[in-house]
Amino acid sequence: MSNRISLTEGCKIEKVSFPDAWQTHQARLDEAIVTGRPMMERPFHYRNTENGQLYHDLYACVGWPSEVSDKDAGRPGYVAIVGVLKLKTIPIDKTPFQLLAEAENRDVPTLLDKVLELRQEYGFGLYPGLLQTLFGDPERYITILALLNEDLMKDGKGEKMAILVAPPDDFYDIKVFDNYARSLRSSLMPGRQRLYYGNCNIIKNRLSEFKRDDPAVYAVGGMAHSLLSRTMWMDQVRESAWTIDDPV
């Protein structure tokens, strides 16, 4: 039987699931319980229509523009999309991450416009919550984000259209930037690499000219730190996030 595929307008990502998704889910759940595994693979995944890459899930991050001073205009803010690769040769909990798209700008409203553009391009709306929440600082530019969300929700789709920002793991640690920079560099180390740049050169250049508190390092580092800490693209066995009522 062929896969069932859903696609949103202007999007290069397809959501792929099998007609017997519930049976697949139940079989994986039973196997995980018998073998004592705490996590299990979801009964669907995503496909990049441009290059054929498969993803367990997709995530987004934002690093707000750095502060302006009388001597410095500050570093541009940064946004990126990453896909958790679905590979037959690598265990699901060790799978690498592929940077798919990125953008930068010093103007916050323009940066948020890029968020809207990129999330639409990479699958927003294919599954509830997909790319709605960004890893980032939830306490910066609250008013600008609230006004944008108010406009988005006027389109008749309510809170499903809003852009949400959630802190990455360990965000409130006093050494947060050090933690994120180290996690980012660790994920790029030869021999144990988990993160790949793809065609994304902004973060690559920012790392080569490394500056403390760089928004791009904050954004990608925080996302990498969180993805390395938890397999968020898998479901808890006894508290599965996917149910028979979920769209497939």
pLDDT of residue 223: 97
Could you give the CA distance from residue 220 to residue 61 in angstroms, rounded to a whole number?
A: 7
Range(s) of the domain holding residue 143: 48-236
Residue 110: inside a domain, yes or no?
Answer: yes
Residue 35: inside a domain, yes or no?
Answer: no
pLDDT of residue 38: 47
pLDDT of residue 34: 53
* Per-residue model confidence as pLDDT tens digits over 136-145: 999 999 999 9
**Count of the separate structural domains present in the chain:** 1
Of the candidates 207, 164, 175, 186, the residue with the CA atom closest to the CA atom of residue 59: 164
Which CA distances in Å does 208 have to 67, 104, 163, 214? 21, 16, 30, 12
Could you give the CA distance from residue 158 to residue 114 in angstroms, rounded to a whole number?
A: 20
* Per-residue model confidence as pLDDT tens digits over 179-224: 999 999 999 999 999 999 999 999 999 999 999 999 999 999 999 9
Across 45-58, b (16+ Cβ under 10 Å) vs e yields bbbbeeeebbbbbb
* Per-residue model confidence as pLDDT tens digits over 66-92: 887 767 777 999 999 999 999 999 988
Q: Residues 247, 138, 214, CA angle at the centre, nearest 5°?
A: 115
For position 172, which CATH number holds? Answer: 3.30.420
pLDDT bin (cut points 50, 70, 90) of residue 173 is very high
Q: Tell me which residue has tokens 């995530």.
A: 59
Sign of CA dihedral 225, 98, 148, 114: positive
List of residues 6+ apart from 237 with CB closer than 8 A: 29, 32, 33, 37, 38, 39, 40
pLDDT bin (cut points 50, 70, 90) of residue 6 is low
pLDDT of residue 41: 77
Residue 38: inside a domain, yes or no?
Answer: no
Higher-confidence residue: 239 or 42? 42
Residue 126: inside a domain, yes or no?
Answer: yes
The pTM score is: 0.86
pLDDT bin (cut points 50, 70, 90) of residue 155 is low
Least confident range from 11-15, 38-42, 137-141, 217-221: namely 38-42
Residue 131: inside a domain, yes or no?
Answer: yes
Could you give the CA distance from residue 13 to residue 55 in angstroms, rounded to a whole number?
A: 10
DSSP 142-202: HHHHHHHHHHHHTTTTGGGG--EEEPPTTTTSTTHHHHHHHHHHHHT-TTS--EE-TT--H
Residue % of the chain over a pLDDT of 90:
63
Residue 247: inside a domain, yes or no?
Answer: no
Sign of CA dihedral 223, 92, 243, 46: positive
pLDDT higher than 90, residue 28: no
pLDDT of residue 238: 58
